[in-house]
Each structure stands twice: as structure tokens, then as C-alpha cells.
Amino acid sequence: MKIGMTCYPTYGGSGVVATELGKALAERGHSIHFISYALPMRLQGFSGNIIYHEVETSNYPLFDFPLYTLALASKMVEVVNYENIDILHCHYAIPHATSAYLAKQMLNLRHIKVITTLHGTDITLVGLEPSFLPTIKFSIEQSDGVTAVSRFLREKTLTHFGIEKEIEVIPNFVDINKYKRINSAKVRSQWAPENEKILMHTSNFRPVKRVEDVIRIFNEVQKRVPSKLILIGDGPDRSLCELLCRELQIQDHVKFLGKQAEIVDLLSAADLFLMPSQSESFGLSALEAMACSVPVVSTSVGGLPELNIHNQTGFIAEIGDVERMARYAVDLLTNPAKHKTFSEAARVRATEFNQDKIVTLYERYYQKILDSNNVPTT
Ligand code: GMT
């Protein structure tokens, strides 16, 4: 198949899923054309079956705001025509599904099929804003196929947007052969020279991630367990978090690593992963941690309970219940036998989301949509 894959290239789960999916499909012999405004973060190195097409936006003085949606639609038309694309697969509905709809119209409804994968805040947060809702609802309804990364997200799409369309749940995935616990003695000795416990969090530091709660949980934990906190990623809340560490006088126990492209050796040094999000449709970074045998303490929001099994692969608690999450963390970090059992269960759970299995689901879904003669609902 020839697939045009559109995603955000930045540090975030939807771009990671799109990129890893594209790479896996390319390895299976499909031709993948990434269409985005910058090289997706995890798309490094040459692969014979992958081509990257950059979307240029005009900064003509009349345009106060870059017209990315239109520029993307035009680039999609070009790539579909020149490369004989079968499917445009859009990750994150805004504005990608809208650009793909426009492109399909410009192509005069040529054989091209549009598939939209819903990832999270495109449905639960920003997509609900009045300035987006009607357009996003329309674009989702006009897609030939729609997938969501969790059952939670499918339900939210149907109820929030009043959409009656069939939505296939295809969960996120991890390459369990790459994401597995490796010897981390060197990294551990740098971060925790006294063999302290290591707590970890990775995110794009947006308010929904509640990284301040990560720090408050750690503050409670370190009072009872010698420990260090490693924070990976960057984003709008990072400065606030750096400040909070200083206010709590724990800055010497917390390391902000910024964005990291390769994290297996980092995750392998962790004893516990924290994800106290306010909203999380799936929690890909928790899955990657679990694949590296790291138990997870998370909130119970969104799709997280579909991944993190309470009292088995970690613990779940209500949003903002810092005290409870800290108690769970201390329980695991002070009980080696329990920690070992949870770590093993986390790895076993992660294997259920193995890349090979989930990429096959996408391949089958592509074929189903290509074979269908569906008329999008309006
Ligand atoms: O919706 C977002 O916040 C963007 C997106 C991203 O690009 O980071 O994250 C979502 O998609 C990920 C991949 O499917 C999921 O693992 C995240 O749970 C989800 N984030 C939220 O729902 C907040």
C-alpha cells in the first residue's frame, strides 16, 4: 500500500505513534510518505520505503496567522498525485482531518481514502472549543475510516460530538523487542550514587499532565524513602516545575533532562513511573515504561485504566490525590517482593500491546477501508 501519513512532528504521543507505525509498515514493504511541517521527532535515518514531504507555509504579511491547514491540503494533493497514494492517514484530527477532506475534494473524490486516528485532546479538550467543534465533527464524519486509541476515546467522540459513525478502537503499541529493561548500572550510578530509588516521568509538560503533582508526590516520597526524581521532556509548565522544586527545596534530588529521543536506557534505570494526568486517552509513555518493567502510579482518568491495572501493574487514584499516589509509591518502593511482582506484571501487560500485533490491526483496517465503498455520514 502507499500511505500518506500526517502527524505533528513535535514531542508528543500522536506523532510518536504515527512515526512508529509508519516505520513498522515500511519494514513490511509498504511505501510511507510522511507529510508534516517538520521532520517527525522519531523519524531519523534513511529507509528505502519512507519519504518525508515538508509543508511550507507562507508568511505573507497579510496573514496574521500561518494558513497551515490550507498549505497541508495542497501538499496532500501534490503527494497523492505524484506518488499514487492509496490512503491518507491523519493522526490527531485538528487540523489534519480537515486538510485531508479538502484534499480529497480537490482530487475530485479520486480513489483516495482518508483515515483519521483520534488521539486525545483533539476530542477531549481543544476539539470541543466552539471555534473548532463544528469543523472537527464534520471532518471526522467525512473521513472514510476513524480509529481511536482507547475505548474511552471512542465513547467520548460519540457522545461529545454526537457522531454516529463506526469508530474502530486500535490501541497504541510498543516495540517490546526494543523497549525492554537493559542494564542501567551506569545511568543509575550517575543519578542515584547512594542507590536511592528512582522515580520517573516523561511528558510534554502541558497543564493536562499535572507535572506539579509529580513533584508534590515525589516530595512526599522522598521524606520516607531515599529517592531521586527524573523528569524527561519539555513544555509550557517546565519553568513552574523548576520553581516548585526550589520552593520545596528538593531541587538537588530532581533532574530535568529536557527532551530525549532515546529513552530505553533511561526508563531501564527507573523504579517507578508517575502519570498523574488530568486527562489521558491512552498513556503511551506509561506503556513504554511498563515495557521496560517499570510499574506505574497514575490517575484513573480516560484510557489509563485500560492500560494500568490497579494493584497489578501499578496503582490508580483520583486526579489530584497526591497523598494517595505518594502512599502507593512508598508502598511499592519499600516492598521489594511486591515491587518485583508488579514490575513483571507491567512487562507482561505491555506485551499485550506489542507492535507486531497492533500494526497488523492497522494493516487489516486499511484493507477494510480500501475495500469499502462507504459513503461518509453527514
Ligand atoms: O491529545 C494530546 O494531548 C496529544 C497527544 C500527543 O500528541 O501527545 O496525546 C494523546 O495521544 C497519545 C498517543 O495516542 C496518548 O498516549 C495520550 O494519552 C494522549 N494525550 C491525552 O489524552 C492528554
Four-residue CA torsion sign, 234, 281, 294, 210: positive
Looking at residue 45, its pLDDT comes to 83
Q: Which atom of ligand 1 is nearest to the CA of 280?
A: 22
The distance from CA 362 to its chain's CA centroid, rounded to whole angstroms, is 16
The answer to whether residues 200 and 272 touch, using CB atoms and an 8 Å cutoff, is yes
**Confidence band of 40 (pLDDT split at 50, 70, 90):** very high
Cβ–ligand 1 contact at 283 (below 6 Å): yes
Owning domain of residue 310: 185-351
Say whether both 252 and 339 belong to one domain: yes
- Smallest Cα–Cα separation from 293: which of 336, 337, 356, 348? 348
- Smallest Cα–Cα separation from 293: which of 173, 176, 172, 215? 176
Say whether both 129 and 254 belong to one domain: no
Say whether both 227 and 168 belong to one domain: no
Say whether both 197 and 154 belong to one domain: no
**Confidence band of 307 (pLDDT split at 50, 70, 90):** very high
51 C-alpha to ligand 1 centroid (Å): 25
The DSSP symbol for 145 reads E
User: Quick check: 109 pLDDT over 90?
Assistant: no
- Asked if residue 73 is part of any domain, the answer here is yes
Cβ–ligand 1 contact at 40 (below 6 Å): no
Cβ–ligand 1 contact at 148 (below 6 Å): no
- Asked if residue 233 is part of any domain, the answer here is yes
Looking at residue 342, its pLDDT comes to 98
As a whole number, mean pLDDT of residues 39-43 equals 91
Q: What percent of the chain has pLDDT over 90?
A: 91
- Asked if residue 285 is part of any domain, the answer here is yes
Say whether both 191 and 277 belong to one domain: yes
Report pLDDT digits (tens) over 256-288.
Answer: 999 998 899 999 999 999 999 999 999 999 999
Domain count, the chain: 2
- Asked if residue 377 is part of any domain, the answer here is no
Say whether both 282 and 257 belong to one domain: yes
What CATH code is carried by the domain that includes residue 226?
Answer: 3.40.50.2000
Say whether both 94 and 226 belong to one domain: no
In terms of C-beta distances under 8 Å and separation of at least 24 residues, what long-range contacts does 234-240 make, across chains too? 234/11, 234/204, 234/205, 234/258, 234/259, 235/11, 235/203, 235/204, 235/205, 235/206, 235/209, 236/205, 236/206, 236/207, 237/205, 237/206, 237/207, 237/209, 237/211, 237/212, 238/205, 238/211, 240/212
Say whether both 22 and 107 belong to one domain: yes
User: Quick check: 310 pLDDT over 60?
Assistant: yes
Residue of the CA atom closest to atom 11 of ligand 1 = 119
Looking at residue 172, its pLDDT comes to 98
Say whether both 249 and 318 belong to one domain: yes
- Smallest Cα–Cα separation from 350: which of 271, 282, 278, 265? 282
- Smallest Cα–Cα separation from 143: which of 107, 106, 101, 171? 101
- Smallest Cα–Cα separation from 89: which of 24, 18, 10, 15? 18
As a whole number, mean pLDDT of residues 17-44 equals 96
- Asked if residue 207 is part of any domain, the answer here is yes
User: Quick check: 377 pLDDT over 60?
Assistant: no
Looking at residue 378, its pLDDT comes to 46
Identify which of 6, 14, 150, 172 to mutate to test ligand 1's pocket (most ligand atoms within 8 A of the CB).
14
Looking at residue 375, its pLDDT comes to 55
As a whole number, mean pLDDT of residues 58-72 equals 92
Cβ–ligand 1 contact at 120 (below 6 Å): yes
pTM of the predicted structure, to 2 decimals: 0.95
Say whether both 189 and 338 belong to one domain: yes
184 C-alpha to ligand 1 centroid (Å): 28
